[in-house]
Structure 1
Amino acid sequence: MAGRKQDDIWVHFERYTTEGVAGWNARCKLCKKEMQGVVNRLKQHYSSCSMQDHPIIAENESIDLVARSTALCGEVPDTSLFAKEKRPRITHIGEYVMKTSKSEAELLDLQIARYIYATNTPFIAVEHPEFMKLIKMLRPGSLLDTCRKTLEDKTVSLSLDGWSNVHNEPVVCVSATTDKGETFLTETIDTSGHSHTSEYLAELAADAITSCEINFRCHVRNVVTDNAANMAKMRRDLQKKIPNEILT
């Protein structure tokens, strides 16, 4: 009775026995490494042997060798000797999206804020096209909401506050607050050379209202200031200037 046919992988190994040990041992003809003569073990070693440069594999060699070679060496060489057609790599949508966790977003926002505060950079700088390009390079696909998009068609409260910047220049900051409590700096006005009289401040407030409604397409319904005497008189003058429209 004929014995079982010897696997073709043995052509790459020397077959020998060891006294006192049952079964066959094998020695790789390329790297001379010795191992047990188990067919799967021989195929695994042959597919990853460091001494060979992917020689031609026999057509009748088990497809299992191809699978093991793929797992150990990467893609299977494109050759007609393989029965299986190489499948295209399946991609995942996650490969095209850079995810930002909540904690990462908070850190990024904090660092941008630190830069703006430390350099006395106007807040509107974040809407500069070059700054937007920077953010898109850091997080491709991310779009920043603009003040205009958020304030558009909203009814807002305008607040004016005078202060001095790091250069001791007198400025008046104008900010708009929505009914949801969102606040945006809409304008900073350099008031150098002007006394903060109620008349000047009323004119400045009227211009700020017009500017806010035109630039951000929102509706200003009231103006808020501190209780300084010139501000209090400014509010009264403003109500006379724009009656039945602005609450102060």
Structure 2
Amino acid sequence: MSDLKNKRSEIWKHFTIVSDGKAKCSYCNKMLNFVGGATGNFGRHVKSVPKAIPFKMVSYGHPEPDDKSLEEQQTTQKGPSTSQNLTVVPSVTNQQTILNFVRKLISLSGSKQLDEQLIRVIVKEYQPFRVVEDPEFKKFIYMLCPNYKMPDRKTISNSLIPRLYNSTKEVISNELSDVDAVCLTTDGWTSINNQSFMALTAHFIDGNQEKHHLKSYLLGCVPFYEQHTAKNLCEQLKSQVNEWGLANKIACIISDNATNITSAIKVTGWRFFPCFAHTLNLVLQAELFEIKEQVDKVKAIVQFFERSSSALAKLKDTQSQMGLPELKLKQDVVTRWNSTYDMLSRIIAIKKAVVSLLAVDEPHLNTLSPNDWIILEKSIEVLKLFSEITEEISAENSVTISKFENTLKAVRAKITTFSSTDAGHSSETIPSGSNPKNEAGCKEKSSIWDDFDHTVKNVLTSANPVAASIIEVDKYLTEPLIRRTEDPIHWWEERKQVYPRLYKLMRRRLCIVACERIFSKAGNLINEKRSRLKPEKASELLFLNHNL
């Protein structure tokens, strides 16, 4: 089959050869014939496509640098005329000859690869389209590859990104067509431009590789212009599911606990499972109300140091003088889980420096009493527990549904331990000479999994029972436990011939994960410097960022 290696016409940037004599349009996927290299029909077709890249039927290459720029480069490279700094610099004529020679080496396929990598840089690193028009960036690219003609931002927006989007979508669609079951997670988000988006992510166990593993693809983060009623959300979900051909493969769909989305999912008839991490966060937020007074005082202190650069510098100096780690205070964010724990644990870690500085410079902010500090220290012990759980069950590429029941048991056990400890030491006060480790409130507590891991260890070291029955379930129940840190998918992969029926059930259950928060990436994409992105373009960028 022919390839693009020896094809120099720029028209081949718009087509992919699929067989001898046939090529597919990169924009509309229409198949066109070419005989003996004739591409006149290709040119006419591309001109009829609204979003195709403007092109000229001429050889491509980078424009020659002017004599002035070359002379400047030559002068810069020569440097001062000293015996210690002797550099042989080719003449302008020789430089132009070399550039012309190098320019002939690039192929069309190489140019397309560079275009795609440029799009990946923009998409994955959240770069604005206008980066290709930055003079210094253009100079940098020219120095790396003089023969590469970098596309402008209009070409990137109208042609290259849609082309990569379509090809990526086709690959994902083919992969999803072979899976047995998927778990869907959905969430909503509003950008700084007050544009509403709805995300849908598919999670499944990939069985096409030598080893099974959990995979996730963002099916879409699409603009949502309708009111967020249960009916409208239901129609949007069904539309995306039907577009990807997943209607008969949904094991379950996970979302937050908002009434409109839960009602929408119930209308679809799909099995619904509330996001465990979101539910846990709701419980935590309700409990944080009990220490709202102390949290508000900490927020005021943190905000002061965030606004005052001089105060921040003094805090850094104070930490250094006291031999404390030079740490910055953290502010909590309502929409970011665990941020309150991060804020409180950080201020307790540098308590001495904060109190010392406020007492002298800002006494009106030094409002945390000794009892307040005790409450905060006790609180972060509980908050740390919830932080560990949230991080573990929010993992995207590991099985989490099998941990929920054991997680709840571990939480109850730890909360009971905290309660009994507090009851026995209710009259405790902070000693004035307490060491920095205690004062940081970061005394290492045992992990929530310590009891569970200890139990599993005892079981693993004991004699394994021998299965007496040929029934799959009975045999499965006699299997020894695996460690929490081991991957259950690999365990099932090794035993799929022993438990064929349970293996099929496993593939429909272990793909269920916690609801993903895709919009932490969306916030990086749509920011104050990139606030003019159209919703449809932002949707394409988020799709590529997540799936490439």
Decide which structure has greater helix share: 2
TM-score range, shorter chain: 0.3 to 0.5
* TM-score scaled by length of structure 2: 0.19
* TM-score scaled by length of structure 1: 0.39
> Which of 1 and 2 has greater Rg?
1
